[in-house]
Structure 1
Amino acid sequence: MKSKTVSMIVALAVIFGGFGKPLANSSVDYLKSQILTDWSVITLSATNSLDGVNLGILETDPGQTPTDIERKILARSAAGANSDRLVSRLSGYFNGTEIANPAVPGLLSDDIFGVLALSSANARPEIRAALADFIKAGQNPNGGWSHFVDGQPNSDFTAMAIMALISAGENSNSDTINRGFAFLEQCDTGAGFSHFSGQGADAYSTSWVVPAYRAANKPLPSGAAEYLAAFMENNGSFDNSTVLTAHALIALNSKYYPVIGQATIPPPADTESPAQESNPVNERQIFVTIHGPSGIIHQGNISGAANALETITKSGIAHQTRNTPFGIYIQSIAGIAESGLNGWMYTVNGGKPGISTAHYALSANDQVVWFYGGPNDTGPGTENINANLPAGEQTSASVLLSAEITNPIPSSSETAEATANPNRPPIIIFGVDTSSVNFGQLRPGDNSPARPVKLTNSGNVNLDVTTALSNADPLFHQGLYIESNKSSTFLSGYCTPQEGYIEPFIPAASCGVFWKVLDKWSSFSAPVNAHSEKNVNLSLRVPSDFQSLGHKNGTLIFWATAK
């Protein structure tokens, strides 16, 4: 019997850029005839072509990664929709300096798109200013920017960083901006722009770069528009790609990011209520109670708390926090710190949320209760969520995955109440240490860096852990691998990785090396003993002939079965 399933959503952002001929009705018709995406909404708004378009996509949940939230904010702003709740969720990832995704440290792209998203929503100017400083600090000496803080600069993210900084108030003739354009000039081939300096022209990169020139009101280098025009097909698409068509039309219509629409679209009823429209965040009243071990420490209304974390940070009560793979954790309130299995937890309107306090967006008149207790304490109005299962039954945990594929180049785990008591009934309490994994920027033929995930068995029975994919794109069926450091093999005579293996960790003579063994997700099996942890690494291999564009989704489930 499978007692519960928690999905692991695998979201790959596949973004290629490009240009074509000047806007024609056939290009707009092509976008409208395809499955609508957030990028399509942005482009259709920029070209005043949203009439008759079903904008239900704007009401869908964007996912948990910052870049997914940022893209949805950009789309909603382009259509003139309110994004207060999404802005609150995104703000929960801000650590005072950058948008911090614990699953993928060192990203710069989420800060760049974070500024664009917040600028499009005209929200959180203090966060925009801090992110702009972080982006400027991440500029490479050659003037460019990368997907990662220390990555190799490329034209795509340099262009987006320029537009982000200008949207945050940077002068388009500042030294920072001019250095960025100096890098872009190194990528100018005389026709289109290359992704990396010294390479051939690339339509996808060109589609990002041209809007940067528009945003800065700088003359567009000759040949770029003509180069893009060559990619327009008879059906109005650009290279038969919805993504490329959307980006190309922005560029060829002298538009740039962020696109801000004029329409007035009501917020979705299930996430942004009309009451919140007339009750701005700074005026909202949240009733907060803080229960300590010996009684109530504080009780009363707090104004302006956008998320559960701010009910503490805005209360004036002494507290300490720390970053964890799940977000910011309150480790002490009023001098009362976590101890052993006991610590601070919270409920909202009687329910115990399953996400970090900084990621839980509040509504007006919500009631937040902080309480001190153990992992099985549910607080007022909540239920025990641990799985108390007999041996032989199962539970599961999940991780959100994402990757960004660009064009080719020529749970928190719950702490157990279990003890060493031999008379205690069998209990399965299984989890993973992260809610999302981002494989970074990949291209066809690339192998992603290994992304660590920790499997934790906090129960009192030994577990066998396997994996399954559900509703997953073929990319993940083909290219998702899991390495558990369980074995190694000496391959004599091989100087390059072979199928099923990843990079060598012990070099040997004559090209023979020890390779860490990779399991295809479908073959993965690993024991995790009671009260123990196991580290595994997820890797994604993008086939060299991979051509399917767009966002790829799927569910990867870690199944834990009691022995």
Structure 2
Amino acid sequence: MNKQIRIYAQKGLSLTVAVSLLCFPLQIRADETSDALSKGILYLQSQANDATRTMAFSASGNDAGSVDYLKSFSASDAISYAKPILALTSAGKDPATFPAENFIEKLRSYADDTQLGNTEQLNDDMWGIFALASTGVSSTDSAIQKSKQYLLDNQNDDGGWGWSKSVSSDTNDTAFAVAALLESGVLLGDTAIQNAKNYLKSSQNDDGGFPYDPRSEFGTASDANSTAAVLQAINALGESASDWQKNGKTPIQQLLTLQDEDGGFWWQAEGSTEFNNKGATGDAVIALAGKWYPVKRLESSVENDGAAVSFRIEGKTAPVCKGLVIAKTALDVVKNSAEMCGFAYEIQTTGLGPYLVSVGGDLAEGEQGWLYRVNWNSPDAGASDYTLKDGDEVLWYYEKWDAKPLRLVISNPKEVYAPQEKVFGKVESFEGAGWNNAPEADVKAGGIPMKTGEDGLFELQFSQGGAYEARAEKAGFVRSAAVTLIVADVTSSSDLSVEIVRKEHETVEDETESEVRFTVSPAMLNFGKLEPGKSATQAVQIQNAGGKDVQVQASVQGDEVFYFLKLNDMIWSSFALDVQKSSGKQVEAKLSLPAEFGSFGAKQGKLIFWGTAK
């Protein structure tokens, strides 16, 4: 039985629950930067020791070198301890025992009930999160979570952050805030992250680089510090610099224009300012190496009971399953999702370790078999040896070893499209350093045959209402995840709310008459404080206010923890309910958490209903 996650839209309910997921995005390394990296490392080797220099060596795959210069370090504020801690962990040294004083203890001594460090500053919370995370502690650590919330509470209206609460946004602190929030468990799709991305993109100069402050009266020329900081955020987001082009120029291209013949990176173009220097070289190397802070972390001493990861399994001719599961290793994803998804699997013991032979009847044979990727990358470890982290995205697929995954991206995404409205999209393939256009790919949606052009673009148009699953396929590539497109004449939804209250839902109907109308109440489902291994239920009333019988289906958006939601004992993606005209039905919404679920905090989502006439 295949259970695919569908994205539908028509009526909205807000959801809140006290649990969270973490996200550790993939890292990107572009081959075109290898020469620049080598030159940058040679330049740093001629410079004096400092924390960023140490981390640059480690980030680029080189020996971090001696960190004895930090043994006698001491400071009097939180932010001053952050980079020395990060430098030590990048070199594999314990900041609690290697120096003369316990750096971790000193950093934590500046924490209070709401944040870390100076209450007016925000950058000490960003760097404090990096530093603590680098020591191997969980993102659920109290100090990390308090600093996360402090940053979220003090995000500026333009989506950015400054170094303190009282100053305007700048690109450097916004970029570091993005990486810190992701490190602390905020998801990629969170509004705070998306608003920050919008601020950064709006700050990009025509040369592809970034200024410190795009509104500064002292100048807005691109500089290496700012461009490197944003590149690190792009890496943390799991995106490619090619996705951040301005006038056909990427941040990497602009950064490389600032590299001198000796390998160092000028702050701004050589000769443009009397304050020029090459202090940005360390951060430039970290960015070009595809890394962000923390560049490395110590192994946690806490035993891993399993991570909350999203997964997708693509069979030989059709998708098998997609969802959220608790798993220690990549192989455990298959084991632990089998019962939930209803498929059989076979694992054989070989001289090289466990080998996945079959999933859902698709048996490995010849050059084809079962392979896996984590965050789109193909790991060098066997599936039973690859330890997962909270927020990892795991893809299992049946193909040849060199097959590349596809993704289908909608360019004009909407909750609901009108009949005859055009839907524009693009198909891309992951090539190891980023996403490239996928020409001549088959786009399948509602029986409509379509091929992408040389630029990977396509367009769709549907004459009748309904739900159309769009996915991309191409010989020798891994099938894309499905995107469900909803086509309907009548649309309405309620906004997502963070209030933990219950209230009646008032529907604002279209001014034009329609025979398909229904209401949903309440406007919010509050599951309260839910412990792992426990369940909570809420009642939803669906009232058919139109002149036709309707079939109602559902979708979930927001935090992935709501993938565990069931409606009338059915996983939400399989839910379907017939409601006759002028009548109503009650639906039981039940959220059950696995006993192993171990990440805590308030999370939000949206339960969306949509209906079609019977």
The answer to whether TM tops 0.5 is no
TM-score relative to the length of structure 2: 0.38
TM-score relative to the length of structure 1: 0.41
